[in-house]
A and B are shown apart, each in its own frame.
Chain A
Amino acid sequence: MISPFRKANAIIDTMDGFFDIIERSGYLFNNSIKDFLSGNEEHFQTGLAEIRIAEKKADALLKEIEHSLYKYSLMPELRSDVMRMMQRVDDIVDTMKEVLVQFDVERPNIPDVLIAPFIQLSEISSECASRASAGAKYFFRNSADARPCIQHAIELESKADDLAEKIKRRAFHELHELSLPEKFHIRYFTLHVESVSDIAKSVAYTLNLMLVKRFE
């Protein structure tokens, strides 16, 4: 028997696949940064290769979702907002890949005292991305579950901000043995890692607005 939800189910599966990729990318991102900072080059390269594949796959799935929403005229009132939000979610994995590529190309020299804060920053950023992505996934199913994820993502972004500032202050005010270009390089990479949480926060804000528009 043909299900009335046949088309919907197919697109829901694609959407879930997309969100799973974002979730997995956060894990890859965090582990790859840890691998880089601990000098585990082989694992870092494997992580980078995997995130490149994930980024391409996410792009393809996003295109498929967009095509289906417009081809079958699904959720006509919501779809432009939905696509804008999903594109922001896709930006998260794009940024994660870009950051790892920068690590690979520029090979920043992170002093030992900053390795732990750097790892913590990457953990907070990837967790922030994961919460925003979970919020987006829940938006489609249950608004009550989406709200705590959004709130958590916003809080984590603020934590990432504070930690990034501490790292930069330490680099510029305490580590006198570093040259100015090295300090700039550290600042530059701090901003890179932190940028993941910035994009996650913009996803959270977009979601929040969509929840207000739909449920209030």
Chain B
Amino acid sequence: MTWGGWILLAVSWGAILGLFLLCLGRALRKNK
């Protein structure tokens, strides 16, 4: 895999995981 591939993979995974954890954390705080 090229550097460009690694960077795109890391950025994509990081953005999705980060946003997901942020959203899930906030949503679960008010999970009524």
Q: Decide whether A and B are members of one complex.
A: no
- Which residue numbers of A lie inside 8 Å of B, CB to CB? none
- Residue positions of B touching A, CB distance < 8 A: none
